[in-house]
Amino acid sequence: MSVAAERIDRLHALARAAAADGDDERASAYVRLARRIAERNRLELPRQFKRFTCDACDAYLRPGKNARVRLRDGHVVVTCDCGSQARYPYE
Ligand SMILES: [Zn+2]
């Protein structure tokens, strides 16, 4: 794993921990930083990272707290508090 990929993993863990502490601002700062590193290094963000972050506002998503999760037509639909929706195939 590259240094950049390791930093992204670390930032993902930090974002998750900050979100669990209820510090949404710090969580989204980590999310933004991880995105920047991925972009600069032309890395694909890990699937778990993509699913737990909002593309629109960089929030770290906590279902039942700042995001709603629904199953619809074989898809998982995640709605962030900012109104942005993401759809994934149900696995
Ligand atoms: Zn959002």
Name the band, by pLDDT with cuts 50, 70 and 90, for residue 1: confident
What's the gap in Å between 53 CA and the centre of ligand 1?
8
What's the gap in Å between 66 CA and the centre of ligand 1?
9
Q: Is a pLDDT exceeding 80 seen at residue 63? A: yes
Nearest CA among 30, 28, 26 for reference residue 8: 30
Q: Please write the tens of the pLDDT for every residue from 4-31.
A: 999 999 999 999 999 999 999 999 999 9
User: Residue positions in the annotated binding site for Zn(2+)?
Assistant: 54, 57, 80, 82
What's the gap in Å between 54 CA and the centre of ligand 1?
5
What's the gap in Å between 72 CA and the centre of ligand 1?
20
Cβ(53)–Cβ(82) under 8 Å?
no
The pLDDT value recorded for residue 6 is 97
Joined tokens for residue 40: 């600069």
What's the gap in Å between 87 CA and the centre of ligand 1?
13
How many folded domains does the chain comprise?
Answer: 1
The pLDDT value recorded for residue 20 is 96
Can you give the residue range of the structural domain that contains 17? 3-89
Name the band, by pLDDT with cuts 50, 70 and 90, for residue 41: very high
The pLDDT value recorded for residue 56 is 97
